[in-house]
Homo-oligomer: A and B are copies of this chain.
Amino acid sequence: MKISLHKVAMAAPNDVSELKALIDQGAVDPATIVAVIGKTEGNGGANDFTRGFATLSYELLLAPLLGLSAEEVGQRIAFVWSGGTEGVLSPHATVFTRSEAPPAATPRLALGIAVTRDLAPEEVGRMGMVHEVAAAVRRCLAETGITDPAAVHYVQVKGPLLTPARIADAKARGATLATEDPNGSKTYARGAMALGVALALNEVAGADLADATVARRLDLFSSVASTSAGGELTNCEVLLFGNSPTAGGDLRIGHATLADAIDADGVRAALASAGLSVAATATPEQAGRIAAIFAKAEASPTGRIRGRRNTMLSDADINYERHARAALGAVIASVTNDPASFVSGGTEHQCAPGMAPIAAIVRV
């Protein structure tokens, strides 16, 4: 297996011209595309439709090229968008292709993708979701030929939350739920998916997990999970990134934990983990080797960073996730020289409270 990636800029959520040009030039074979992960310029909230617009636009580009309907493209390729390009963050998509290749001398980036079955509302944010995600992570491990959990550096999971309709359905059947608050269910869903990753990677013990653990026992977490929940989904989709002895290509991934939203040392640690040692700011040669950064940003639960109060949590005009993404996105760019990184919000059971995962893919 060989994973390649192309970062394409987007002038708008429906701007697919850079990928089209790469395909036209023969630089990307559309048949090899397996995943698209990117940032769109919406507000990142419930009324952010830029994510759906971007997905539809890429589906329409690829459908005739693949001889599929737009809907079938969506089933074939994993699309993961985070809305909100605050501060200097730049709208873009990272397009992943997977093709056959002989193993390289040292482990290289591998990408496994698996989906769970549809989940019942009463499983969302609970052990049902945890176990299904864990099983999907294990299928990804098998697919990538990774046997050592320590070789896994980033696991992106997206899955369902509880919509009003699904809550009503469950109640009609007499089923109990993690919560009856649709908005609040995001927390439980993201948390359960992260615990599923943690379970499969032996970061937590199964004996410590229960329905009541989710979104409460925050000392249990995965250091490599990045999860998101959306009302349009009924199952979970897992994208596992790690370095595999059976993979070829020239990419390698590493990760670190961000202590807070201004942890430039953490950014450098992620790069170093992937094999690139940056002293302060990446030199142009180093910047050219940084292929992609994926990170989570979160407001400090204490309202303080390095002892200083910030106003993220009390700001009624700008959501705290937007403040956090603006801060971290700028700090990452100040190290990598590239404002087009993937920074998203919501870190339940993804590193310890206040901390967040960051992964870096670099060219060997």
Q: Residues of A at under 8 Å CB distance from B?
A: 9, 11-14, 41-50, 52-53, 56-57, 60, 70, 85-92, 261-265, 268, 279-281, 305-306, 308-312, 314-319, 322-324, 326-331, 333-335, 337-340
Apart from A14-B49, A49-B49, A87-B310, what are 8 other A-B pairs with CB-CB below 8 Å?
A41-B311, A46-B316, A86-B323, A88-B308, A91-B311, A264-B264, A318-B322, A331-B334
Bound CA span A67–B49, Å = 28
Most buried by B among A87, A268, A316: A87
Partner of A330, one of B43, B268, B326, B338: B326
Shortest Cβ gap from A323 to chain B (Å): 5
Instruction: Contact check, A333 vs B262: say whether CB atoms are below 8 A apart.
Output: yes
Instruction: Contact check, A46 vs B314: say whether CB atoms are below 8 A apart.
Output: yes
CB neighbours (8 Å) of A263 from chain B are 334
CB neighbours (8 Å) of A41 from chain B are 47, 49, 311, 314-315
Shortest Cβ gap from A334 to chain B (Å): 4
Instruction: Contact check, A308 vs B13: say whether CB atoms are below 8 A apart.
Output: no
- Least CB separation from A52: chain B residue: B14
Instruction: Contact check, B310 vs A90: say whether CB atoms are below 8 A apart.
Output: yes
A-B contacts, 11 of them at CB < 8 A, read A12-B49, A45-B314, A46-B314, A53-B56, A60-B70, A87-B327, A91-B311, A264-B334, A265-B281, A305-B339, A327-B327
CB neighbours (8 Å) of A70 from chain B are 60
Shortest Cβ gap from A57 to chain B (Å): 8
Instruction: Contact check, A87 vs B316: say whether CB atoms are below 8 A apart.
Output: no
